[in-house]
Amino acid sequence: MGIREENRKYYRDKILLTAREVFTSQGYENTTIEQIAKKAEIGLGTAYNYFKSKEELFILSMAENIADTTEIDLEDLQATTKNVNEIVTDAIMKHIKKMNWVNKKIWKIAFPVILSSMKSDKLSIHEVMKADFKLMDKIRTLINQLKTDHRLPSDFDTPTAIDLIFGSLFLQLSMYVYANDCTFEQTCERIKTDIRFVFARKWL
């Protein structure tokens, strides 16, 4: 990495870290990019060189901590006594539980910002959904390995299974964010139930 690239990474990371601190302490509505730039000790123009809008900065600063999904050790699959449902559920739960570090109040702010950003050109949908895409890619690899190991039928419909799991995650996490009486633990249990349905033997 050249000096220019190192400098860009340094300032981008510095802005994201500062933004996360300010958004968490002040909330989305009460925070401006000017405040973030001042706290980060950089110019306002510099901040805009890295991030196009407050919406983009908010989403990326809050998403950085959960974007990296847990690695799945495929070599351990043959040694485990767990069934297919348990294997896939464990892999997904390791990722989903990372969401719990963010206060539910913050998620209520983030969700509408994310959805509205998808409808504009302010923010790449790939960036918004980066964590989900990475997770689904890993689960796809996991399911295909389970098919290779003959723990799932060779004709098991992987794309449909991925769609159903992704749909469950979006629905259940949305309910968690917007339903005041819905706990994170209840959400996790509902996701586990949905995954069991996808891998129920009567459908295989």
Nearest-10 crossing angle of helices 33-40, 54-67:
60
Question: What pLDDT is stored for residue 134 in this prediction?
Answer: 78
Cβ atoms of residues 118 and 128 within 8 Å? yes
- 3-51: what fold? Arc Repressor Mutant, subunit A (1.10.10)
Which helix H or strand E contains 100, and what residues bound it?
none
Q: Span 5-23, mean pLDDT?
A: 90
Beta strands in the chain (DSSP E): none
Mean pLDDT of the chain: 82
CB hemisphere CA count around 17 (13 angstroms) = 8
Count Cβ atoms below 10 Å from residue 186 Cβ, excluding itself: 14
Question: What pLDDT is stored for residue 29 in this prediction?
Answer: 81
- Of 119-123, 178-182, 186-190, which gets the smallest average pLDDT? 119-123
Res 125 pLDDT > 50: no
pTM of the model: 0.67
Question: What pLDDT is stored for residue 42 in this prediction?
Answer: 94
Q: How confident is the model at residue 65 (pLDDT cuts 50, 70, 90)?
A: low
